[in-house]
Every structure is written in C-alpha cells, then in structure tokens.
C-alpha cells in the first residue's frame, strides 16, 4: 500500500502544471469531442435550465462528471476518470459499466459508449453533430480524431482542478445571480458568470452549429463572465479570460490587472496567459486579482448595483 501511495505521489503533476498546447493539441481535440458526446447525453435527458446550465460538466477529484442524469424512474451519471483513465457509467440500481480512455477514434468511442448505455437499459438518442465547431464531423463518422496522451490530459485536468478551486473562491464573493463553476463542452472551457439582474440587448447569435435562440437565451441578461480555456487555433496557448455582455463603453481600455493581462479585440475579451499564473509567486492571488479587476471594470462601467450584489466579507 505504501509503495502504491508513493508511486501515485511521484507521478502527480505540480499544483499548477505546465501546459504545452502544441504538444497535446490533437489529444485536446479528441477529448473535446468525447466530452461533447457525454455532454449531449446529459442535454438530451435533463430539463432545460436558464442559460443552458443543465448541460455542462463539473470538475471532480478524479476528472469530470455529468452529475446525476434522470432516465425515467432511474438516475445515472457518467464520469471521466483522468487518474485511471476510464469512463465510468453508474446507474441508481447499482449497475455500472467502464470503458478505457485511450487512443481511439471518436466514432469508436461513440459506438462503445452507446452500446454500454443500451446494455444498461438506458435508451438515449442525441444529435450526433458537434456544437460550436465549424465543419464538425458527425461523431459516428469521425475517424480523424483519435489521439489520447494520458499525461497531457492529466495535466489539463490538474489545471482545471486549480482553476475550479480559485473560481469558487471568487464566486463566493457575489450574492446576486451567479452560475455554478462549470465546464462547457461546446466551447471546452471552465467558466463562472455573474449577472447584474437587468435584461441585455438581443444577442446576434452566429455561433457554429449552435441555434441562435440558445445563444440569445444564454445572453438574455447583462453579465460579467470569466473562465479558463486550454487554447486553440486562434490562440495557441492556455488562457484565463474575462468579458462583459453587453460590453460597456470603455471596457476594452479598463485597468484590468495584473500587468500580464490584455484586451484581445478578436475575442472581445481580456486574457491572462495561464503561464503567468503558473509561474507567479502566489498563483491564487494573481488569478483572483484578474477575476476581480475584470469584474469591477464590467460592473463599474456598466453601472451595476454593486452594493446590492456583493457580499461584505467579515474581518
């Protein structure tokens, strides 16, 4: 037992691990699509909640989870375990199934997962086209994405664990309407969103393979949102981000800290490279400074009623 514990400790990532987007981008693309398949299962079975809060996944001590999903009188959940590199399906009647997370095509993952669901008596259908991805390949036809580097995936999950922990500290400062800290499989990012309580202008939509009405409902009220994204073609490194909708005048030139933060016009967001946080003397404090200062820029310039929305911390 002691040897096993030591082995796990030796293989563990540092609290804020290094993330090399170039080194794991093919695994990232494959994992993104796997999370979409699992997320769509939750979407298909869960009552609609405002701002699509019924669809995300959540960070766990071992990976990501759907949380409990209803299916008739039964409940089930699906978990990504990034320690043992397994997908675990658990039903409320005690039945379970597992499948390995390994280098395999999206089509193969899709086929095996739905075979396991059928064996458990969970007859579920999803729309099998990826969301928020231009030119997405239907899951059951995607033999192109088939990479899985376990070490890089584990590092990404450890970054999610740290981000989730700090985001929850930030969320606790707000008593107005606020989302959970959750992982959106469409955009493949961890996010938390605060609301002013006032309606927002109609969102223009235009997100690939996502109905405009979904985006309009998601952005129906004024908000300040922040999150963590592992990077992509347009920005090939991991970042923390923050934006406001609608963006108030002066937001793009606001004093958002720390010094490494900057406004990206192509994204209409402030970004702070993950590496700036990872290498900081106090990563938590640096990230909280970014989250707080970007929120203050949105709230002050947008004339939010901050006294009514924020929690006064006791000494």
Whether residues 167 and 281 fall in one domain: yes
| Number of domains into which the chain is organized | 2
Mark which of 141, 162, 182 sits at the end of a domain.
141
Q: What is the pLDDT of residues 20-73, one digit of tens each?
A: 999 999 999 999 999 999 999 999 999 999 999 999 999 999 999 999 999 999
**Which one-letter DSSP state was computed for residue 174?**
B
Task: State the Cα–Cα distance between residues 209 and 229, nearest whole angstrom.
Answer: 20
Average pLDDT over residues 191-206: 97
Looking at the domain assignment, is residue 10 inside a domain?
Answer: no
- In this structure, the answer to whether residues 129 and 159 fall within a common structural domain is no
pTM comes to: 0.94
Say yes or no: 171 and 82 in one domain. Answer: no
Residue 83 lies in a domain: yes
pLDDT of residue 12: 55
Q: Does a structural domain hold residue 136?
A: yes
Report the share of the chain in percent with pLDDT over 70: 95
Question: Per the domain annotation, does 33 fall within a domain?
Answer: yes
The reply to whether 178 and 235 lie within a common domain is yes
Asked if the structure places residue 9 within a domain, the reply is no
Does the residue 208 lie in any domain? Answer: yes
**Residues 45, 171: one domain?**
no
User: Do both 190 and 247 map to the same domain?
Assistant: yes
- Is residue 118 domain-shared with residue 166, that is, in the same domain? no
pLDDT at residue 3, rounded to an integer: 44
pLDDT at 124: 96
Same domain, 168 and 52: no
When pLDDT is cut at 50, 70 and 90, the band that residue 14 belongs to is confident
Structural domain ending residue among the three candidates 107, 141, 175: 141
For 208-242, give one letter per residue: b (16+ CB within 10 A) or e. Answer: eebeeebbeebbbbbbbbbbbbbbbeebebbbbbb
Phi and psi, residue 187, nearest 5°: -95, -10
Buried b (16+ CB within 10 A) or exposed e, 164-181: bebbeebbebbebebbeb
The pLDDT of residue 312 is 78
Its domain, for residue 265, covers: 150-309
Does residue 15 form part of some domain? Answer: no
Check: CB of residue 148 under 8 Å from CB of residue 141.
no
Domain check: are 112 and 155 in the same one? no
Q: pLDDT digits over 147-178, tens only?
A: 999 999 999 999 999 999 999 999 999 999 99
Residues 88 and 232 in one domain: no
How many angstroms separate the CA atoms of 99 and 88, rounded?
Answer: 7
Q: How far is C-alpha 244 from the geometric centre of its chain's CA atoms?
A: 18
Instruction: Write the Ramachandran bin of 109: left for phi over 0, alpha for psi from -120 to 50, otherwise beta.
Output: alpha
Residue 240 lies in a domain: yes
| Same domain for 43 and 163 | no
Cβ partners under 8 Å of residue 302, min gap 6: 196, 222, 224, 244, 246, 248
- Res. 9: pLDDT tops 50: no
Query: What is the distance of C-alpha 173 from the center of its chain?
Result: 21
pLDDT of residue 8: 46
Strands (E) in the chain, as ranges, are: 58-59, 63-65, 69-71, 74-81, 86-91, 96-100, 182-184, 189-199, 221-229, 239-245, 262-264, 269-273
Helices in 120-211 by DSSP H: which ranges?
150-171
Both 130 and 155 in one domain: the answer is no
Q: Cα separations (Å) of 310 from 70, 121, 173, 199?
A: 34, 46, 6, 19
- CA 14, CA 307: separation in Å to the nearest integer? 38
Does residue 90 surpass a pLDDT of 50? yes
């Amino acid at each position: 037992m002691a040897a096993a514990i030591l082995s796990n400790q030796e293989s563990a990532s540092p609290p804020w691990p290094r993330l090399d987007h170039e080194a794991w981008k093919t695994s990232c693309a494959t994992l993104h699509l796997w999370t979409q398949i699992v997320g769509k299962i939750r979407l298909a079975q869960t009552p609609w909640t405002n701002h699509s809060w019924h669809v995300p996944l959540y960070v766990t001590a071992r990976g990501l989870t759907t949380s409990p999903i209803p299916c008739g009188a039964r409940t089930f959940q699906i978990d990504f375990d990034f320690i043992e590199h397994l997908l675990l399906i658990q039903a409320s009647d005690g039945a379970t199934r597992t499948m390995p997370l390994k280098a395999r095509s999206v089509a193969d993952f899709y086929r095996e997962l739905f075979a396991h669901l059928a064996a458990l008596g969970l007859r579920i259908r999803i729309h099998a086209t990826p969301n928020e991805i231009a030119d997405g390949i239907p899951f059951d036809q995607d033999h192109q994405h088939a990479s899985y580097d376990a070490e890089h995936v584990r590092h990404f999950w450890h970054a999610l664990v740290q981000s989730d922990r700090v985001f929850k500290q930030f969320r606790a400062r707000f008593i107005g309407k606020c989302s959970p800290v959750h992982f959106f499989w469409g955009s493949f990012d961890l996010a938390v969103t605060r609301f002013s309580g006032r309606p927002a202008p109609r969102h223009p939509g235009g997100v690939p393979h996502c109905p405009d009405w979904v985006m309009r409902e998601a952005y129906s009220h004024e908000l300040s949102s922040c999150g963590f994204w592992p990077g992509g073609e347009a920005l090939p490194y991991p970042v923390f981000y923050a934006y406001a909708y609608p963006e108030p005048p002066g937001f793009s030139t606001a004093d958002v800290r720390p010094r490494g933060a900057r406004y990206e016009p192509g994204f209409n967001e402030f970004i702070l490279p993950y590496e700036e946080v990872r290498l900081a003397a106090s990563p938590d404090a640096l990230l909280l400074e970014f989250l707080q200062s970007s929120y203050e820029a949105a709230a002050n310039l947008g004339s939010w009623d901050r006294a009514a929305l924020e929690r006064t911390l006791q000494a």
